Structure 1
Amino acid sequence: MDTTLRDGEQTSGVSFPSAEKLTIAKLLLEELNVDRIEVASARVSEGEFQAVKAITDWANENGYINRIEMLTFVDGGRSIEWMDKAGAKVQNLLTKGSLNHLTHQLKKTPEQHFAEIKNVVELAQNAGIKTNVYLEDWSNGMHNSPEYVFQFLDFLETLSLERILLPDTLGVLTHNETFDYFSKITAKYPNTHFDFHAHNDYDLGVANVMESIKAGASGLHLTVNGMGERAGNAPMASVIAVINDFFKDEVEIQVKETSLYSVSKIIETFSGIRIPSNKPIVGDNVFTQTAGIHADGDNKNNLYFNDLMPERFGRKRKYALGKTSGKANIEKNLQELGLELDQVDLLKVTERIIELGDKKELVTKEDLPYIISDVLDSSLYEERITVESYVLTHSKGLKPSTTVAVKIDGDLYEEHAQGDGQFDAFMNALRKLYKKKNMTMPSLVDYAVRIPPGSTSAALCETIITWESDSNKFITRGLDCDQTVSAIKATQKMLNIR
């Protein structure tokens, strides 16, 4: 069962509008093909009601209504009335799974709590609603009051229920405890369907899920990207990969691995919660080899591959370009781009990428053609004019200014100018210098900066400038981690090829 739309929405700062909830519900059931989805908590708000109504209307039309579940409460039937109006047919009734919660939060005896639960289950039956029961704080119940937990389970065995849902509400279980507690329960109640609902406070969610499977759990509660209260819930993608690789002979699931990444990215966009780049299966970097020795090993019988092949998840392996890159990384990227360099040029490009890597951690594959151009373009023209040095200033209350030293045919010239920005000041200084030399410069007609998506302030910038001279237009590019410097590099190319 996916609970991204209920427990996942309890991630701090996350609230899915009705249209997004419906879209996510469709993705989970039709794209990922999960078995069930928990979509909301009853009686939260009018907006939540409208979202649930939209989902149940769609589910009724498409035969999914029995796969839509709602969190409900022991409230004398008010949740049932809310559900009935919203069109939902399966409730996940929240009850107290530890004596501590029962005594201090509800201030009731087990007998009082059980009687109220029985009443709600009967009201649901009369309304044509199926019931699953959550034992909130079950893990602490097994720690501190196991006799109460088994008394409660004995009582639940007398009711007409679909499933009993056992949550590690505060994420406190170790893998050994998960196996021990689940084994005791499944041994005593072999014919009952038990779900495990793991939280990830100690980063043990996936490990605990594995142990619950070994101990006989019949269902799992997961969220896309591990969203949820505090540190979140057991993450869908990791658990699916674990089941398929380590439990394929024991557990049969229908979730589509190839859709995990695309759904993950959509929910990242809707939620505004960024996926860590190193998050297993769905993180940006998890199928990226950075060290040159790894790329070399992959060229030699895939020495650094494991069973988590990116194609399983609709992804591709990447080879990072940076200061730890070797020629093998670059060759891998060139192959994907359909480019080929001889060994001399490959060495030049490698040296340039390592130089850039000292300024920033990563160069993207998409940057590679421009790096190649930046490195190899020098062979296309004689570099008569070079920008030897410059000082760029930008101070509050003062106009930006530039002092520039330019070497033309071996002679050094210096000029100073102000402008509306640092690059404008640089260009004004150049124009003054050229005017004194009775030289003409092309006009700048377009200026664009490209920064790879998702990059930081240290991103590699490519500045693309279009120039016009005597009605002829041409383009130069400059590459650097500093945007103004990349524009100056593009300008120096213009001075030599105009």
Structure 2
Amino acid sequence: MKQRHIEIMDTTLRDGEQTSGVSFSASEKLTIAQLLLTEVKVNRIEIASARVSEGEFQAVKRITEWAAQNGHLDKIEVLTFVDGDTSINWMQKAGAKVMNLLSKGSLNHLTHQLKKTPEQHFKEIAAVVKSANKKGIAVNVYLEDWSNGMRHSKEYVFQYLNFLATQPVQRIMLPDTLGVLIPSETYAYLHEIIQRYPTLHFDFHGHNDYDLSVANALEAVNAGVTGLHLTINGMGERAGNTPLESVVAVLNDFKKDVKTTVNEKALYKVSKLVEAFSGFRISANKPVVGENVFTQTAGIHADGDKKKNLYYNDLMPERFGRRRKYALGKTSGKANIENNLQQLGIQLSDEDLKIVTQRIIELGDRKETVTQDDLPYIISDVLDSSAIGEKVAVENYVLTHSKNMKPSATIRIRFEDGTVEENSPGDGQYDAFMNALKKIYAQKKLPLAKLTDYVVRIPPGGKTDALCETVITWDYNGKEIKTTGLDSDQTVAAIKATQKMLNLV
């Protein structure tokens, strides 16, 4: 079967940055741009809007310098405006070579925002395109509010497309600016346009206001578009843009007659990086990249997985550089717990397994889930086993914090062969604690896990004396460990979570 290539243009750094409260630094933009082109392997990236700020200019300049050195300059795109040579001059100074010209795709926008006639608008666009091409800048054109244009002023849209067909533009980009389309409309509008202009290159740019952006992207491909505009984690204004990770998975599984260059295995890593840089946390149940989407909770599902993979589908976690997990809670069955014990290298007799299962179910009635890292403690508690006991304990500590003075910690750690005491300063109380702990473990020549993530959860509406849960993620020899601590003091909760890690290691 001959496959049709679909261009993927990622606009996380431009349209995705319009997510409320998100602003990437120049260094962050460069890092994300490099990963998108070299690891995720998208075809093009839209990185900024012209004339926005000095910081935006510096970010574009750094990206274009890197891209020029590495053969990617033609993949770097900037949103520009119908403003004579102003945007063009900005692009030249920034070193960019591809402009995405923002124009009006609906008569409503043209009449009430620009207060111009179609003929006036087209004349100004023609002048910008001519000037840009003369200065070595390629032009793509956005038809802003195109979806409403097709609904309410179709004659204007076709008048505009007739004009664009005469212009030296590379791509015509059709955005559902307000996210109003349903899949059947997306297909009908795009199919009509592509049938009328079969030689032109059309991109579809969706928004997710009705949670239909992935379905609309699929219908756009069915209608014959050549390119899709997407963002990592579906970042974007209001409900966001079309998520790249979901669309790629859908196309790979349901559109065998098309192909993309995107590397699925890199999607999760880049998703987590964008999440960290943006501070925009994605939901745990977000398809493909969410924390829980490859976690089985029901015991019957875990049992089915062991018996001919009865509950597997084509969305295998390994495709995205991830692995399946089995949650522990009140719906856990024996198979769920066995899978977790196997990952920890622990074997129990059938009788002991029944006792542990019962205890996890009881805990699940009070707490939604039990983590895999809680298992050794549950086993130790339930079975009174010395095999998995508390071999390391934080016996005592003094934490100091004074105004205009560096925090410090003095700690005493008890091992099976005695206690060791150390002190150290730090950038915060917990940092000082960890610095002192590192000294102790260096003295005893013992391995220590590396902290990779630190999350504090406080109940909504909690008061100053409310319990807070600290969840710390550690890396130990390439294995991810998560430990939790619970206390009304955040630092004490973190120390409790750290003690759990010391015993697991």
TM over 0.5: yes
Query: What percentage of residue pairs aligned between the two structures are identical?
Result: 67
Q: Report SS of the residue matched to 2:48.
A: strand
Aligned length: 414
Equivalent in 228, 232, 237 of residue 236 of structure 2: 228
Distance in 1 between residues matched to 2:387 and 2:96, nearest whole Å: 70
2:219 matches 1:189: no
AA aligned to 1:345 is D
Unpaired runs of 5+ residues, structure 2, are: 1-8, 389-417, 423-429, 435-450, 460-467, 472-482, 497-505
Distance in 1 between residues matched to 2:384 and 2:60, nearest whole Å: 60
Cα pair distance change 1:217/1:461, threshold 3 Å: closer
Residue 315 (structure 1) aligns with: 322
Distance in 2 between residues matched to 1:480 and 1:57, nearest whole Å: 46
Distance in 2 between residues matched to 1:231 and 1:460, nearest whole Å: 29
Task: Output one character per residue of 1:108-138: Cα deviation in whole Å (capped at 9) or x when no partner.
Answer: 0000000000000001011100000000000
2:134 matches 1:163: no
Cα pair distance change 1:11/1:263, threshold 3 Å: same
Cα pair distance change 1:479/1:121, threshold 3 Å: closer
2:208 matches 1:207: no
Q: Is the 8 A contact 2:10 2:45 kept in 1?
A: yes
AA aligned to 1:359 is R
Distance in 2 between residues matched to 1:209 and 1:24, nearest whole Å: 23
Q: Is the 8 A contact 2:232 2:245 kept in 1?
A: yes
Distance in 1 between residues matched to 2:58 and 2:77, nearest whole Å: 15
- Displacement after TM superposition at 1:359 (Å): 2.0
Distance in 2 between residues matched to 1:343 and 1:195, nearest whole Å: 59
Equivalent in 72, 76, 91 of residue 80 of structure 2: 72
2:309 matches 1:302: yes
2:107 matches 1:99: yes
- Displacement after TM superposition at 1:483 (Å): 7.5
Q: Is the 8 A contact 1:77 1:123 kept in 2?
A: yes
Q: Is the 8 A contact 2:457 2:470 kept in 1?
A: no
Task: Output one character per residue of 1:287-328: Cα deviation in whole Å (capped at 9) or x when no partner.
Answer: 000011111111111111000000000000000001111111
Cα pair distance change 1:256/1:367, threshold 3 Å: same
Greater displacement, 452-461 / 109-118:
452-461
Residue 456 (structure 1) aligns with: 457
Equivalences for residues 277-296 of structure 1 within 5 A: 277-296=284-303
Equivalences for residues 366-381 of structure 1 within 5 A: 366-377=373-384
Q: Report SS of the residue matched to 1:184.
A: helix
Task: Output one character per residue of 1:402-435: Cα deviation in whole Å (capped at 9) or x when no partner.
Answer: xxxxxxxxxxxxxxxxxxxxxxxxxxxxxxxxxx
- Displacement after TM superposition at 1:349 (Å): 1.3
Equivalences for residues 13-162 of structure 1 within 5 A: 13-162=21-170
Residue 266 (structure 2) aligns with: 259
Residue 391 (structure 2) aligns with: none
Cα pair distance change 1:481/1:113, threshold 3 Å: same
- Displacement after TM superposition at 1:368 (Å): 1.6
Residue 227 (structure 2) aligns with: 219
Q: Report SS of the residue matched to 1:358.
A: helix
Q: Is the 8 A contact 2:175 2:204 kept in 1?
A: yes
Cα pair distance change 1:188/1:18, threshold 3 Å: same
- Displacement after TM superposition at 1:351 (Å): 1.6
Task: Output one character per residue of 1:438-492: Cα deviation in whole Å (capped at 9) or x when no partner.
Answer: xxxx999799999x95473478789xxxxxxxxxxxxxxx9996679999x9xxx
Unpaired runs of 5+ residues, structure 1, are: 382-441, 463-477, 490-498
Q: Is the 8 A contact 2:170 2:201 kept in 1?
A: yes
- Displacement after TM superposition at 1:54 (Å): 0.2
Q: Report SS of the residue matched to 2:366.
A: coil
Q: Is the 8 A contact 1:11 1:228 kept in 2?
A: yes
- Displacement after TM superposition at 1:367 (Å): 2.1
Q: Report SS of the residue matched to 2:258.
A: coil
Residue 354 (structure 1) aligns with: 361
Residue 446 (structure 2) aligns with: none
AA aligned to 1:281 is V
Cα pair distance change 1:479/1:137, threshold 3 Å: closer
Distance in 1 between residues matched to 2:19 and 2:171, nearest whole Å: 25
Distance in 2 between residues matched to 1:483 and 1:371, nearest whole Å: 23
Distance in 2 between residues matched to 1:210 and 1:352, nearest whole Å: 46
TM-score by length of 1: 0.78
- Displacement after TM superposition at 1:366 (Å): 2.1
Task: Output one character per residue of 1:218-247: Cα deviation in whole Å (capped at 9) or x when no partner.
Answer: 000000000001110000100000000011
Q: Report SS of the residue matched to 1:51.
A: helix
Q: Is the 8 A contact 2:207 2:239 kept in 1?
A: yes
Equivalences for residues 419-458 of structure 1 within 5 A: 454=455, 456-457=457-458
TM-score by length of 2: 0.77
Distance in 2 between residues matched to 1:146 and 1:187, nearest whole Å: 15
Q: Is the 8 A contact 2:379 2:385 kept in 1?
A: no
Cα pair distance change 1:461/1:181, threshold 3 Å: closer
Q: Is the 8 A contact 2:48 2:79 kept in 1?
A: yes
Greater relative contact order structure (CA < 8 Å, 6+ sep): 2
Cα pair distance change 1:93/1:195, threshold 3 Å: same
Q: Report SS of the residue matched to 2:265.
A: helix
